[in-house]
Amino acid sequence: MLATTVKSTDLKKLKSFILEKAPTCLHKAEGILKYRFVTPTYGIVAGADDNADISARTAGHYLQMYDWDSCLFSQAENHLGLTNLAKDVVLNFLTLKQADGYIPRTVSPHKTWDGADLCKPLLCQSLLKENLSSGFKTPIAPEIIQDLDCYLSYFDRHRRHSSGLYHWRNMLESGIDDNLALIYPLDASNDENGDFNGYPDGKLIAVDICSWLVAEFTAFSDLASKSDNLELAKKYTQKAQALSELIENMLWNETLSLYCNLDPESSKQVQMRAFTGLMPVFLGFAKPERAHKVIEQCVLNTNHFLRPAGLASVAASEYLYNQAKRGLYGRAEVSNWQGPVWVIPNVLAVRGLLKYGYKKEAEEIALRILNTLAKGLDSHGTMYENYNAETSAPLWAPNFMSWNVLSLELLELVES
């Protein structure tokens, strides 16, 4: 793997830019948001389109608080000199929890968006990360533990298949708006799956939701244990272990050397190399021998995921791989996860590589994505949601911060 070099002056400029702009993604409590909240786009008026028929995100601006955007943003709070941001983010979502545990994934000061889509399971992970960094100085209130338990139980009642594995309500709920691994098999000529007269995304067992839930169950177990609720901690440790075993037993694909989504009706895997199939490795719970195979045959393979600008969202070897701004196959409402580089898969990959002992390779990937961000900043004066995996050219959504703020984590790695 060729070593990537980035000018130290470019990295300093990128760091200064993030430290300057990221705080403008934070907003004071307003309306139904009772605590500080986060928007993905910086320098905007939060919820300015609450009374509009169409969200401003169709123009590449995000004025709402999104589930994983805000949770992952909060994971950079130490780098930004902030405290208790993860708690504020989590409490905003828990305040909106319904009696059955449902929490919306997209909220504004005066409106909830995106229908019945459920908040993705990152609340416990973000809260745990914050409390670990502070040494659990402030005990977690019992009512927060109860609310999180109720929320996680919703997944069992409404997103759990009889196999014990989980599915999204639709691909938009997953956040990966046009994930080819969720709309496969696809008739690209009419954007529909002929068997169901629509998209099969609401029933496919998905590697990413299963993986997030393993991490979330584990994090919640730690939170419950620190709150002296040992019975609840044991319950969720067992849930995490059982789910990780099911993922290994049912979703592993030896031929592709990654994990695949599963059609529960046909018992056939969706054999596609999308970054979501790497999530058990990225989150650090894959079996070591399989993790090494995924890393060496997929992640670090220039025929598949490793591209000049960073890790691609879909492998370059896939027939439908493309670098369009808004996707070519399936839903193309917002941005494109069908090949372009995004910061979040790269940050998760770096974390996973470090867990499995690939420090030099983690630094290389970090440098590639940092170089992509730095080049875009130099040429356009801002950061974007995604970038061309081959050329590093910005593609969509200018003034995007969100999880791009986690570049500070990558900068710390390459500067150490």
pLDDT over threshold 90, residue 52: no
Per residue in 82-128, pLDDT tens? 999 999 999 999 999 999 999 999 999 999 998 899 999 999 999 99
Work out whether the CA dihedral 321, 325, 328, 333 comes out positive or negative.
positive
Average pLDDT (232-239) is: 98
| Structure tokens belonging to residue 59 | 């123009």
Average pLDDT (210-214) is: 98
Looking at the DSSP bridge assignments, the partners of residue 192 are 187
Average pLDDT (223-237) is: 96
pLDDT over threshold 70, residue 332: no
78 in the Ramachandran plot: left (φ > 0), alpha (ψ -120 to 50) or beta? alpha
Length, in residues, of the chain:
416
Return d(Cα 110, Cα 359) in angstroms, integer: 45
Q: Which domains are delineated in the chain?
A: 8-415 (1.50.10.10)
Work out whether the CA dihedral 51, 398, 334, 213 comes out positive or negative.
negative
pLDDT of residue 347: 98
319 and 329 in contact (C-beta within 8 Å)?
A: no
pTM of the model: 0.95
Percent of the chain beyond pLDDT 90? Answer: 82
pLDDT band (50, 70, 90) for residue 248: very high
Average pLDDT (67-94) is: 97
pLDDT of residue 186: 52
**Per-residue H/E/C for the chain:** CCCCCCCHHHHHHHHHHHHHHHHHHEECCECCECCCEECCECCCCCCCCCCCCCCHHHHCCCCCEEHHHHHHHHCCHHHHCCCCHHHHHHHHHHHCCCCCCCCEEEEECCEEEEEEEECCCCHHHHHHHHHHHHCCCCCCCHHHHHHHHHHHHHHHHHCECCCCCEECCCHHHHCCCCCHHHHCCCECCCCEECCCCECHHHCCECHHHHHHHHHHHHHHHHHHHHCCCHHHHHHHHHHHHHHHHHHHHHCEECCCCEECEEECCCCEEECCCEHHHHHHHHCCCCCHHHHHHHHHHHHCCCCCCEECCEEECECCCCCCCCCCCCCCCCCCCCCCCCCCECHHHHHHHHHHHHHCCCHHHHHHHHHHHHHHHHHHHHHHCCCEEEECCCCCCEEEEECECHHHHHHHHHHHHHHC
Per residue in 145-198, pLDDT tens? 999 999 999 999 999 999 999 999 988 899 998 898 988 655 444 445 445 445
To which residue do tokens 């494109």 refer? Answer: 336
Which is higher by pLDDT, 59 or 198? Answer: 59
Average pLDDT (388-412) is: 97
| Structure tokens belonging to residue 315 | 């492998």
pLDDT of residue 2: 62
pLDDT band (50, 70, 90) for residue 336: very high
Q: What is the overall mean pLDDT for the chain?
A: 93
pLDDT of residue 101: 98
Per residue in 354-386, pLDDT tens? 999 999 999 999 999 999 999 999 999 999 999
pLDDT over threshold 80, residue 79: yes
Chain-centre distance for alpha carbon 398: 19
pLDDT of residue 51: 83
